[in-house]
């Protein structure tokens, strides 16, 4: 299983599944990240947190811990 956290900068991937439950899952889903959505990693902070991504035309930041919950293809 590969996660969004492991994705290289500039790479575009498709989301396979969102793991986690409760508030964490809801926060990820509220960003518009659902199964089949394309996500591009734009930038990773020097210490790896946060990860800046583009989802459905929006530029967002996601925590490294939350990025581990997103399984990609």
Convert the pLDDT of each residue in 29-56 to its tens digit: 888 999 999 999 999 988 868 999 999 9
Task: Print the domain residue range for 30.
Answer: 2-72
The pTM of the full predicted model, rounded to 2 decimals, is: 0.85
For residue 17, how far is the Cα from the chain centroid? 11
Structural domain tally of the chain?
1
The string of pLDDT tens digits covering residues 3-24 is 999 999 999 999 999 998 888 8
- Specify the CATH number for the domain of residue 46: 2.30.30.90
pLDDT, residue 41, reads 96
Buried b (16+ CB within 10 A) or exposed e, 5-34: bebeeeeebebeebebeeeeeeebeebebe
pLDDT band of 71, cuts 50, 70, 90: very high
What is each CA distance from 36 to 8, 15, 46, 48, 53, in whole angstroms?
19, 5, 29, 25, 16
Location of structure tokens 């956290």? 5
């Amino acid at each position: 299983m590969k996660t969004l956290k492991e994705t290289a900068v500039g790479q575009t991937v498709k989301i396979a599944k969102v793991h986690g439950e409760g508030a964490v899952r809801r926060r990820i889903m509220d960003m518009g990240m659902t199964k089949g959505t394309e996500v591009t990693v734009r930038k990773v902070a020097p210490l790896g947190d946060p990860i800046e991504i583009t989802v459905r035309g929006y530029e967002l930041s996601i925590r490294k811990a939350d990025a581990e919950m997103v399984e990609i293809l």
